[in-house]
Structures are given as C-alpha cells and as structure tokens.
Structure 1
Amino acid sequence: MDMNYKETARSSDFDCDTDSPVLAYAGDNPFLSAKCAVCIERNPLLHCSDLLKGLQMWFVVFYVFNLQYPPNIAATPEFMQRLLFKIRPERGSKRSSNTKGGPNNKVVQLCTKLKDFEEMWVV
C-alpha cells in the first residue's frame, strides 16, 4: 500500500516495484511528507503534496480503473470505502474474486461497533 523514499527524492523519482496501485512518499514519516505520488503499474502518475490527498487518490484509482483490492490488504481499503467514503454496497466487493462475494465481515463488524460507539456520545 505504501513505499517510502529519501526526503530529497522528487516524486517523479519514485520507482514502485508492484503493478498494484501504491502510495509512495518521501521521508521517514508519511504524515510529515510534502511529496507523495500514487504509482500505477510501477509508474508514478498522480502527484500530491500531503498524505491525506495521496490516500484519497490511491483509493479512487481502484474505482476509476476498476481494480480489485490487493488480497493482503483488502480489509484496509474496504474499511476506507465503507466508513470514510460511505460507499456501502450490500453485495459485491472490490476484493479478489477468490473470496466470497459479500463485504468483509470483520470490516462490517468494526464499522457497526464504531457507529454504536459514536451514538453513545450523541446528545
């Protein structure tokens, strides 16, 4: 999902070693990085100046190019999809086709628990 490079690197210098979309950033701390890029098929294509914009662009790439989430991190973008971006299909998922067709149960449970927790604090 992410790769880091030396702080002096330019975002055009990022060389990503995977075909799956990756968020690359310069420096040791992604939260303080002023340079980010979303790499697609090993090429840095989308450049941005902070981590939040980079995460948004990384997520949107999966929808624009109709890509599946990488199996080893599929729960993370599904969590972002359902909780942060409010995209909640009842059926289907952008997870790999070798998984069951519905949403990730752990992600749904976490979203439900967070919603219940949030409701406790509503006045």
Structure 2
Amino acid sequence: MLALIATLSAALMVTAAGAPGRAPVDPVADFLRAADGNDFAAMEAVMDRGGPGFVAKVSNCYLRRVYQTPDGITAAWMCREGPARSRVVMGRLGLTAENTVSVVVVREEVNDRPAPDRAGSAFAD
C-alpha cells in the first residue's frame, strides 16, 4: 500500500504555477496523509470550498482504504454510528484548477453491524 501512495503522489505531483524554484506541491497526497492521521484541519486546509461540509461528514470516521481505479482515486472512510451500526463513506478525489482537493461522495451506506476497530494506517499492507 505504501507503493500505492508513492505512485499516487508521483502521478499527482504538480509544481506551483509561476514560482520557479519552489518545492513541488501535492495537495492530494497531503490530503491523504492528513486523512490517514485523522487530521481534519489539515484535510480542510488543502480542500476546495466544499471541504468543511465533507470534513463534517467524516469527522467521526477513520480512513479505511484508498483505491486507484480507472476513474481516479477513491477513498473509503469507516464511521461508528453507535455500538451496533456503522457507516461507510466513499469519495472520489480530484484536483481543481485552483490546485485544491475536491471530494465527491460516490457512495454512503449505513450498515447494521459495528464498525471494526481501526488497525493502523490505511496504507499498510
């Protein structure tokens, strides 16, 4: 899975426009690292205007998995909805023209079973 984030990072690497000599900026990789650490403020800092709404939606969740699909990067969050219920939120990540991250929720499902405990990083094998 670490290879996946390295591949994603390399594929999404962009350089700040008009700023020669500046370090590359990769908002999607920054977003994923922040999401993996449940750093919601850092997630929101690299997101587009829809960021606060999305962050509020996953504020009681943890990043469970990240997938590279033909449509791009999809991330899945696992949320506790009480002792016997859970919710899964899947979002497709994108990069805007303003070099910010957008997340479009492509699926949200409530299950009548508890969320599994977090078991380390979403990027662990």
TM band (smaller chain): under 0.3
Higher fraction of strand = 2
TM-score by length of 2: 0.26
> Which structure is larger by alpha-carbon Rg, 1 or 2?
1
Q: Which structure ranks higher in relative contact order (CA pairs < 8 Å, sequence separation ≥ 6)?
A: 2
Higher fraction of helix = 1
